Amino acid sequence: MLIAFLLVQVTIDVASPEAGVIKEFVAKEGDTVEPGTKVAIISKSGEGVAHVAPSEKIPEKAAPKPTEKKDEVKQTPKPDLAAEKPKKSTPATSPPRQAASEPQLPPKDRERRVPMTRLRKRVATRLKDSQNTFALLTTFNEVDLRSEYKDAFYEKHGVKLGLMSGFIKAAVSALQHQPVVNAVIDGDDIIYRDYIDISIAVGTPKGLVVPVIRNADNMNFADIEKEINTLAKKANDGTISIDEMAGGSFTISNGGVYGSLLSTPIINPPQSAILGMHSIVSRPMVVGGNVLPRPMMYVALTYDHRLIDGREAVFFLRRIKDVVEDPRRLLLDV
């Protein structure tokens, strides 16, 4: 029970040491008392109680009132229970509302369940493992795609100079400048590869396949273009072998052929990075102080941040941009 008293015109609640009612006040209203001073006498039986507070006086006939309240409390539950009975029926009205919305769903006869192919399940597993294992981070840049030597290239080599050969040669140069991008984590070790095998993601009617161009660092533009055409034809015909898709140290994915403007590709494990190419869009660019329409492409590099730092990733993508925009840098090694 709490006893209220005044201390320097401030009311403070004081906890009673035992249960009961106030029988007599020792301190008068307005007195200043020290902490621990006895201010009232507590009666456990309730006999002789005359005050509830120093400023309130209650007649002795008021003492039986708590008994009357107890009687009222005992009688009140019965009407309360009766009043609550209709409330229990309220939740029963909610299921019909939910059931009424069920016919709005598409009927099951308009859905088809088709088992996943082995290729699709394999791709799904590898991509999910990539997300769960690697610390994926993506950096972006843009490339001005110039085409100054297409006609001369076709006349000499008999194949068209496509985008992929230029990006593969640029990737080879970038991997040579930043060899950690061509490396891989194996337990507590880092394995640096002294070869460059470029994987190319190819979308086919049966799913995604990734054929590999072996020893791309020893091939010229014409050799790369011919190898790309051969592997792409096998992939679309479904005649590509497992050996032609095994391995690879770095992957290039060209989502631009489907119209993708920007994306964050997922690493093809156990590799440590992947280059994403996108659609070519004519945009106004400042060239020599003049604003000119240029064919621009966004490129993205997703890499394993556990192994590759942001500085190395940015330098790698910058090298891709420089070589694609000016392949003569490969001859001068600048």
The C-alpha atoms of residue 165 and residue 1 are separated, in whole angstroms, by: 89
Burial 271-299 (b: 16+ CB within 10 A, else e): bbbbbbbbbeeeeeeeeeeeeeebebbbb
Coil, strand or helix at 265: coil
Judge contact between 248 and 268, C-beta under 8 A.
yes
Judge contact between 240 and 175, C-beta under 8 A.
no
Q: Both tokens of residue 17?
A: 């040491």
Quick check: is 71 catalytic?
no
Coil, strand or helix at 46: coil
Task: Write phi, then psi, for 215 (nearest 5 degrees).
Answer: 50, 50
The C-alpha atoms of residue 278 and residue 258 are separated, in whole angstroms, by: 9
Q: What residues contact residue 319 under an 8 Å CB cut-off, 6+ apart?
A: 170, 173, 174, 177, 178
The single residue of 71, 129, 151, 309 carrying the catalytic annotation is 309
The C-alpha atoms of residue 8 and residue 282 are separated, in whole angstroms, by: 83
The single residue of 51, 157, 305, 326 carrying the catalytic annotation is 305
Quick check: is 304 catalytic?
no
Q: What residues contact residue 20 under an 8 Å CB cut-off, 6+ apart?
A: 1, 42, 43, 44, 45, 46
Which residues are designated catalytic? 305, 309
